[in-house]
A and B are shown apart, each in its own frame.
Chain A
Amino acid sequence: MAKSLMIVDDSATMRKIIMRTVRMSGLEFSRTEEAGNGNEALEKLNAEPVEIMLCDINMPEMSGSELVKKVRELPSCDDTKIVMVSTESSQEIIDDLLANGANGYITKPFTPEKFQEKLAPFMN
């Protein structure tokens, strides 16, 4: 069964780039959603949870780490795998995210191979 995907990033350009790269990585999703900020993401998740979420860290209003915490409070998203996608490369920040409910991390810039490698474990 193909999984559903949500891309959360404040930059519309980046959302498209991620979408394009995901597509080029050969991974197939049954449904893809986009959200431009944390609140939009939560709203959409409340309406219909997704199985994999790709999430930016540096976003105005609600940061990626705050969003992760809030998603983890939603019982319907217990099984949602959250993979952070960010230029942030500080190990402390990454560790903190993983400790707070994120399941993986991809640094920007990325390649289709990177997506394939990091998302494949969550595809089955």
Chain B
Amino acid sequence: MPEAQTELEFEIIELATESLETFCEDISGMFDIKMECTQQQFTNLDVNGLKKTFKKFAAVNTVKTEGALNGVFYLIFDKAGTFTLSGIVVMLPEKRIIEMAKKGSESEAENLSDSIREMGNLLVGSWDRIFRENLEGHGHFTQTNTFIGNPWGKPEESIQLDSSEELLFIPYEITIGSYQPFNCGVAFPKSIFDKKPETEDEQPAAEDTTDTVEEEKTEDTTEPDVVSEPAAPADTEAKEETAEAKEPAAPEDTKTKEETTETEEPAAPADAETKEETAETEEPAATADAEAKEETTETEEPAATANAETKEETPEANVSETIQKMAQSPADLPGENTLIPSNLTANELMQTQIVWGTAEDSVQQTLTNMQKADAGYILIGKDQIPEGIISKSDLNGAVSPYLKPIFAKWRRPLDDATLQIKIKWIMTRPVKTIKPDTTLNVIMDTMRQFGNRCLPVTDESGKAIGIVTVFDVFKALTNNPNFSTVGTTPQAPALA
């Protein structure tokens, strides 16, 4: 195999780097982050070489090209890249992104598949633009598939790449803000650089087969992609809603940070506060999610399981949850804590006063309703069926911290605009509910597992008849004669 690159290959390498730089600039502008790439030494290799770079996890975007280049090529992100980029897109908390970049599982990637694929779409868009402007005879780039997972076992099936195919590979290191740098690369099958026959009969056999085979295969690509597909819609939706909760806060947050450098004093508390709210609305869902997910990876077969919601509710997930707990603290087994009154149920704990709102209400209206009723939570829905739930912290997280009187001096029209955000964008959805006969133990466990501080109680028809908040739980516990509130919790372990 000749190692030397042809003139066309050199031109493509240059354009590839320009395209990726453009993508980085595009994403930087779009998400207000600093994203940069550095080209590494290009090589000629085969699938095994790719496997060494990308290990057991990659997001592979298959790009069909016609015109000056003919066939398909691959834009590949490693695990850290896949999670960092998609995490930023859906505005996951930084801590969560860092965690997933290190040890995100295939099923976690599944939940982000819509944004991973859309990132690929943007990537291909940037590339197409640069090639269109600079490469004579360039036709069109089309993203035909995004494979997420380990493609190297059967690359013919997963990404329609023959293991014997020789590839020109250009690796890049990408950095985004303060996140760990990650790897990405573009792999061009060498055959893509073959000149297209001038006339039909010149090299018909060889060219034709590559062309049609690849075309047929790319049509098929939706099949293998199914690995990630089924979970995507519902779950991504749910995730996004969670991410949404934080959404309006994020730009403000960045803004606050900028102001910090200029104004010092007032910005600091605001910044901290926004962060805190964000963490509050975001974290729990993500953590609960992660717990369930990690279990799934350990027990393998992540692809087979549906979305997180169902996963959390499957008996398997509960079993592993229990096993995990047993390993951590045998005293903590559910149902065995004698301090918790086991006979109390939601029916006895719940508040029956429910404040209702609609998804079309604005943040401002909802804040007013909450204040009027002195309620910490508002259920969103029609005919007593809860479609979403919104907490005081959700609202605080949604509105600009600059609306506080202390910041009046810095207040801008955009800050007031946050009061007009509709509840549907920030409410938590779907709503985790409990039944009237759900016991205190299960209520506490549900709250802890799902990170919910308020659980609506629904009857058989799905209508909400009350809510149980963490405060109702505290009240039940402190009223319990077995539960002592005297004394202090040891803050440091005793020396043995």
Contacts and interface: CB of A to CB of B under 8 A. Distances in A.
A58 B121 CA distance: 10
Interface of B: 23, 26-27, 29-30, 89-90, 114-115, 117-118, 121-122, 124-126, 128-129, 132, 140, 233, 236-237, 240, 243-244, 247-248, 251, 413-414, 417, 420-422, 425
Contacts of B414: 26
Nearest to A110: B30
B125 A12 contact: no
Given A13-B114, A32-B422, A107 B122 contact: no
Contacts of B247: 16, 20
Contact residues on A (Cβ < 8 Å of other chain), bracket = 20 to 34
Contacts, number: 74
Given A13-B115, A17-B89, A26-B417, A109 B29 contact: yes
Contact of A13 (B27, B240, B417): B240
B124 A109 contact: no
A89 B90 contact: no
Interface in A53-107: 58, 86-90, 107
B459 to A, nearest CB: 31
Nearest to B128: A89
**Most chain B Cβ neighbours within 10 Å, of A23, A28, A107:** A23
Nearest to B412: A26
Contact of A109 (B30, B140, B425): B30
A12 B89 contact: no
Nearest to B418: A23
Nearest to B417: A28
13 contacts: A12-B237, A14-B118, A16-B240, A16-B247, A17-B30, A17-B89, A23-B248, A23-B421, A87-B122, A87-B126, A109-B125, A109-B126, A110-B30
Contacts of B233: 12
A35 B243 CA distance: 19
Contact of B125 (A11, A24, A89, A111): A89
**Most chain B Cβ neighbours within 10 Å, of A17, A19, A107, A110:** A17
B117 A11 contact: yes
Q: 6 shortest A-B CB distances, which residue pairs?
A: A87-B125, A109-B26, A13-B115, A109-B30, A111-B29, A11-B118
A87 B251 contact: no
B122 A90 contact: no
Interface in A1-41: 11-14, 16-17, 19-21, 23-24, 26, 28, 32
A16 B48 CA distance: 38
B425 A19 contact: yes
A109 B243 CA distance: 20
Given A20-B247, A108-B121, A109-B29, A12 B240 contact: yes
Contacts of B114: 11-13
Contact of A87 (B117, B121, B417, B425): B121
A13 B236 contact: yes
A24 B30 contact: no
B140 A90 contact: yes
A13 B125 contact: no
B90 A16 contact: yes
Contacts of B237: 12
B417 A108 contact: no
Given A13-B236, A109-B26, A23 B417 contact: yes
A12 B89 CA distance: 12
Given A13-B115, A23-B417, A89-B129, 10 more contacts: A11-B117, A13-B89, A14-B121, A16-B243, A26-B417, A86-B125, A87-B124, A88-B128, A90-B140, A109-B126
